[in-house]
Amino acid sequence: MKILGIETSCDDTSIAVYDDNFGLLFCCTKSQSKIHSKYGGVVPEIASRLHFKNIFFLLNKLIKNKKIVKEEINAISYTVGPGLPGSLLVGATVANSLSYLWKIPIIFVNHMEAHLFSYMLDFKYFIKPKFPFLSLLVSGGHTQIVLAKSFGKYTILGNCLDDSAGEVIDKISNMIGIKYPGGKKMSKLAKHGKSGVFSFPRPMINSNDLNFSFSGLKTHVTRVVLNSNIKNYQVKCNIARELQNSIVSVLVKKCFKALKIMQLNKLVVSGGVSANIFLRKRIIDMSKKIKNCSVYFTKKNFCTDNGAMVAYLGMLYFKHNFYSSSKIFFSPKLSIVKNIYFDKC
């Protein structure tokens, strides 16, 4: 069984082929970060145009791959949401065109659900966490704690009320002179930073719920940056260090609280921000305080948006006999709670 996955939710164009027996056969991603870095963030119109250009480049690369015969592909899965409308439309149109041309079914994939299962792309997790389990989804667009009750059935226990963790990191990194995307570079700066030089708030860390709010933190750090000598390398490192400390402290505390409330001992961590080494270390340390707690991290090269996770989730749905005929469908504000197949959307 071979599934072609297409991911175009934001600014990364990615396609992949996942085989049920042999795992990931092909995955290639074309990033737009160099172009969007000129503007300090993703420009939707430019992203859409580049997706249209890049996706055909990647498809040609796939077809020329001698290990993959297009006639052996059983279905096409693509990201229907959430994401940028124009970007999603490109993926939807190309996927449905190929479906019609190759006479194979279409599988609609929720971007956040694909992130949730992306840790399974790493074969070292041959023992999969059994349902139910908790998932921390933390990226540039989302910060959520999700209860995975069973396949396709999820409940959001904690959501971001405003700016996501990844969005704040990108905005502050841009202010101190780091071009978009800033997550990886900010993490490197934080390694050389000194704790205690700055003191940033830990928003909602002691709230009675599991929600997140990082807009106040962004405002506070913005004021600090404007009143600091950011031309000084050590000052930049110190700001990055404290920003990282603040965000990670909130994420870890909320995860610990969620595991305790739900009386669970399995946590999956995924999304672009989950590649942060400090976050991983703090979560592992936290897990040691819970009896028999197991933590599953997505492999770092699959943390950001990629076609592999879309192809893999597509395979799971195909095995459950959830697929459709060609239909150009996308939903920019799609929630992980709304299952396209189970809820007959």
Say whether both 307 and 194 belong to one domain.
no
Q: Has residue 123 been placed in a domain?
A: no
Residues 72 and 179 in one domain: no
Whether 174 and 248 share a structural domain = yes
136 and 274 fall within a common domain: yes
Beta strands in the chain (DSSP E): 2-7, 12-19, 23-31, 75-81, 106-110, 133-138, 143-150, 153-158, 266-270, 294-297
Residues in the chain: 345
Distance CA 329, CA 88 (A): 9
Does residue 124 have a pLDDT over 70?
Answer: no
Task: Compute the distance between CA of residue 147 and CA of residue 132 in angstroms, rounded to an integer.
Answer: 7
**Per-residue pLDDT tens digits for 247-294:** 999 999 999 999 999 999 999 999 999 999 999 999 999 999 999 999
**Domain contains 46:** yes
CATH number assigned to the domain comprising residue 90: 3.30.420.40
Q: What is the pLDDT of residues 156-175, one digit of tens each?
A: 999 999 999 999 999 999 99
122 found inside a domain: no
**Kind and range of the H or E run holding 243:** helix 233-262
For the chain, how many structural domains are there in total?
2
In-domain check, residue 337? no
Same-domain status, 71 and 179? no
Indicate whether 273 and 205 sit together in one domain.
yes
Same domain for 282 and 191: yes
Predicted local distance difference test score (pLDDT) of residue 126:
55
Percent of the chain with pLDDT over 70: 98
Examine the domain organization and report whether 154 and 292 are in the same domain: yes
Same domain, 19 and 153: no
- 143 and 38 in a common domain: no
Answer yes or no: is 342 within a domain: no
pLDDT of the residue at 140: 85
Claim to verify: residue 278 and residue 136 sit in the same structural domain: yes
In the predicted model, what is the mean pLDDT of residues 222-242? 97
Give the structural domain span for 144.
129-297
Say whether the peptide bond before residue 85 is cis (omega within 30 degrees of 0): no
In a domain, 338, yes or no: no
Mean pLDDT taken over the chain: 94
Q: Of the candidates 41, 48, 13, which has an alpha carbon nearest to the alpha carbon of residue 141?
A: 41
Question: Do the domain assignments include residue 336?
Answer: no
What pLDDT is attached to residue 345?
Answer: 40
pTM of the model: 0.95
**Would you say residue 14 lies in a domain?**
yes
